[in-house]
Chains A and B, each alone.
Chain A
Amino acid sequence: EAGVAQSPRYKIIEKRQSVAFWCNPISGHATLYWYQQILGQGPKLLIQFQNNGVVDDSQLPKDRFSAERLKGVDSTLKIQPAKLEDSAVYLCASSPTSNQPQHFGDGTRLSIL
């Protein structure tokens, strides 16, 4: 079984630029999550999808962050414009249903200059 795929693995941008991350969940997994992990902290949930619908985006900074999950499979997370405090690892996870263990990708490390 292929795992959760994320790209790119690393990204360096300047503040006020835009950036996008991509996630391909495990085949058949209906639930998809994006987490932000700032250095030295545990991951924080940004958004949860069930198929192509948003279940929870209460911690997503909607003035600059957006996410979509087209056709209930792949997902993209975008930041526009980026701030210095957005430097973090962005983790994508998926699960067959929301009450089953989540499988994580390797994450994208974002550095803002």
Chain B
Amino acid sequence: AQTVTQSQPEMSVQEAETVTLSCTYDTSENNYYLFWYKQPPSRQMILVIRQEAYKQQNATENRFSVNFQKAAKSFSLKISDSQLGDTAMYFCAFMKRTGGGADGLTFGKGTHLIIQP
């Protein structure tokens, strides 16, 4: 079984600053995906960024980037030039690849990110 740990229950930064959210995971699998999801108060989970474990290059999506350290089983999210709209719960998630597809997501407990004006 996989586990995902997010050790920061809450973080607060000023608008325009850079913030990094931490995530570690435990698995014996070699083929998997890692994700960061954002959940605003509206409850809908929104995909922020995705990383495939076999790719050494870190994924980036505009202001969002990850630092994927496979040997250390670490997967942090960096948000640059933070904006008020980034305020939300952020969840790190793991998905194991199987034969022809993949399993469901295993989520961490989340980090509540607050962007202060």
Contact = CB atoms under 8 A, between A and B. Distances in A.
Do A and B make up one complex? yes
Interface of A: 31, 33, 35, 40-45, 48, 50, 55-56, 89, 91, 93, 97-99, 101-107, 109
Nearest to B98: A98
Chain B interface helix/strand/loop/mixed: strand
Chain A interface helix/strand/loop/mixed: strand
Nearest to A91: B45
A101 B35 contact: yes
Contacts of B45: 43, 91, 93, 104
Contacts, number: 60
Given A89-B43, A91-B45, A40 B105 contact: no
Contacts of B4: 42
Contacts of B47: 101-103
A26 to B, nearest CB: 13
Given A31-B101, A98-B102, A107-B44, 20 more contacts: A35-B104, A35-B105, A41-B109, A41-B110, A42-B108, A43-B45, A44-B107, A48-B103, A50-B101, A56-B103, A91-B45, A93-B45, A98-B101, A99-B33, A99-B95, A99-B101, A102-B47, A103-B47, A106-B43, A107-B43
